[in-house]
Amino acid sequence: MAANMSRSCRQYLLHLAQDNLDFRLPEIESLLALGRKSFNTNVNFKETAPFWCLDGLCEEDVKAVMARSVCAKSAYELWGHGRTHSELKTSLLKFPTENMRPFMHQHSTYRINVYTFNKTLEFADRIKRIDAMEYLPFEGTVSLKSPQHVFCLLEDYGTDPNNIPEDPEYVYFGRWIADGQRELIQSHSVKNRHFIGNTSMDAGLSFIMANHAKVKQNDVVFDPFVGTGSLLVACSQFGAYVFGTDIDYNIIHGKGRSCRKNQKWRGPDENIRANLRQYGTEKLYLDVMLSDASKPVWRKTALFDAIITDPPYGIRESTRRTGSHKDMKPGDAVYAESHVPVSQAYHLSDIFKDLLSFSAHHLVLGGRLVYWLPVYRPDYSEEIVPLHPCLQLISNCEQVLSSHTSRRLITMEKVKEPEDMDNQAHLLDPRFSPYEGHNAFRQKYFSGLKKRDTKEDGTSEVNGQ
């Protein structure tokens, strides 16, 4: 009974990276959902804070999250916390000694770290902090190099670098459990990637997308706008089989001009398969195919566990899809004798309608769609996020690109199989209207930039595509 009591009152502390703030909670929630868990956050919970206290989990749940998270740096079993060191002491002295003992007995080795957020402490001050913890019943031997157990005192000095308080705003003490997967951001950086393009997705965001999509081992994941395959790289790292399509022959076949400095043409093996080979996941490469996403070639059945994609916004140039002579109007004679497929504008509203409808038909139940929605910030409200009767909106996270532009990472989950009615319902949905006149959206997107974000030297802050 006592053991159960002490087990149920355990709390965990997550130390999170202070970038991509909006993406962190959906990442942690998705990873817990992957293990069919949810959590309660305690009263100190602030979504933008570097530390979160979590209740209602066991150590295995936390380890499973840390084995995947690129937003969390480290996780601790929380032994005590408070607004001051004195409150911390009171809290620590209440922590059940039977929960401490396995990690503090005389045959164990340990180390205590001191971590300060938004302040740097002198070495001597760190030592003072460690010495002050002697009220805890440490019986083991200190080992700085290879301790069996690592404890950490964490001090939070707030998030304002221009107003750092003398004393911490909050302090925590806990037993280190696991680190997150932040090193994946370096090891998979597009800077060192074999095959890249102008719109290759940043490694950190690619892993976040894979986590929001709850991608897991042996899943089949599809990217309909695959480009250089950055999203496939991330999903294969988590054990999924990956497949992609793109309308660009050169991208699919790894040919054409290189976007690297000092290199005119792509090399013989610059392609998506080689990217997976670079990271040891080639066995999970199903294939990539030249195909227009507006005209899917698939049987109407659930094929994919996740669809994760970065659609062409056409911000820099208008987006195209294949057309046919039947779409030609009188006077379009210039194309009439062409044998090459004719291309026509692919409006953003159509891209999103097609993507949602495709996902409703081709995701398995419970499967997730994760994609980016470009946004002109002054016009944004939650009402413009495209919906579909078969897809439940799970999260909607903003990445700000400039004062007037951003993109939102939208995560949806398939909750029912589509019926004929469902296909029609979202076609009339006014949510798609901001993206209806594609060129109008582009003009607005850039007018905002020209007026407000273009600097005196003529460079602009935009980071879109």
Q: Which structure tokens are listed for 427?
A: 């076609």
By CB under 6 A, which span of 48-56, 135-143, 227-235, 444-452 interacts with ligand SAM? 227-235
The answer to the question of residue 323 lying near ligand SAM (CB under 6 A) is no
The answer to the question of residue 30 lying near ligand SAM (CB under 6 A) is no
Q: How far is the CB of 226 from ligand SAM (least distance, A)?
A: 6
The number of angstroms, rounded, from the C-alpha of 98 to the middle of its chain's C-alpha atoms is 38
The answer to the question of residue 242 lying near ligand SAM (CB under 6 A) is no
The answer to the question of residue 244 lying near ligand SAM (CB under 6 A) is no
Site string for ligand SAM, 259-298 (x = CB under 6 A): ---------------------------------xxx----
Q: Which structure tokens are listed for 2?
A: 């006592």
Which residue of 266, 321, 408, 442 would you call a contact of ligand SAM, by CB under 6 A? 321
Q: How far is the CB of 207 from ligand SAM (least distance, A)?
A: 13
Which residue number places its CB atom closest to ligand SAM? 227
The answer to the question of residue 246 lying near ligand SAM (CB under 6 A) is yes
Q: Are 293 and 355 in contact (CB under 8 A)?
A: yes
Number of neighbours of residue 46 by Cβ within 10 angstroms: 10
Q: Which structure tokens are listed for 111?
A: 């180390």
Q: How far is the CB of 343 from ligand SAM (least distance, A)?
A: 9
Number of neighbours of residue 302 by Cβ within 10 angstroms: 14
Contacts within 8 Å (CB) and 24+ apart, 423-431: 423/357, 423/360, 425/388, 425/389, 426/353, 426/356, 426/357, 426/386, 426/387, 426/388, 426/389, 427/353, 429/386, 429/387, 431/383, 431/384, 431/385, 431/386, 431/387
Q: How far is the CB of 374 from ligand SAM (least distance, A)?
A: 10
246/217 Cα distance (integer angstroms): 24
Based on CB atoms, which residue is closest to ligand SAM, 153 or 251?
Answer: 251
By CB under 6 A, which span of 2-10, 14-22, 239-247, 333-341 interacts with ligand SAM? 239-247
Based on CB atoms, which residue is closest to ligand SAM, 73 or 188?
Answer: 188
Which residue of 312, 386, 418, 448 would you call a contact of ligand SAM, by CB under 6 A? 312
The answer to the question of residue 248 lying near ligand SAM (CB under 6 A) is yes
156-215: which residues touch ligand SAM (CB under 6 A)? 197, 199-201
Which residue of 172, 241, 346, 371 would you call a contact of ligand SAM, by CB under 6 A? 346
Q: How far is the CB of 82 from ligand SAM (least distance, A)?
A: 45
Based on CB atoms, which residue is closest to ligand SAM, 119 or 277?
Answer: 277
By CB under 6 A, which span of 41-49, 111-119, 125-133, 316-324 interacts with ligand SAM? 316-324
In our burial notation (b when 16+ CB lie closer than 10 A, e otherwise), range 395-424 reads bebbbebbebbbbbbbbbbbeeebeeebbe
Ramachandran bin of 448, using left for φ above 0, alpha for ψ from -120 to 50, beta for the remaining angles: alpha
The answer to the question of residue 354 lying near ligand SAM (CB under 6 A) is no
The answer to the question of residue 357 lying near ligand SAM (CB under 6 A) is no
Which residue of 13, 16, 215, 231 would you call a contact of ligand SAM, by CB under 6 A? 231
The answer to the question of residue 371 lying near ligand SAM (CB under 6 A) is no
The answer to the question of residue 315 lying near ligand SAM (CB under 6 A) is no
Q: How far is the CB of 312 from ligand SAM (least distance, A)?
A: 4
Q: Are 142 and 55 in contact (CB under 8 A)?
A: no
Q: How far is the CB of 311 from ligand SAM (least distance, A)?
A: 6
- By CB neighbour count within 10 A (0-12 exposed, 13-18 middle, 19+ buried), where does 306 fall? buried
CA-to-CA separations, 302 to 388, 434, 447, in angstroms, rounded? 16, 30, 42
Q: Which residues bind ligand SAM (CB under 6 A)?
A: 197, 199-201, 225, 227-228, 230-231, 245-248, 251, 292-294, 310, 312, 319-321, 346, 465
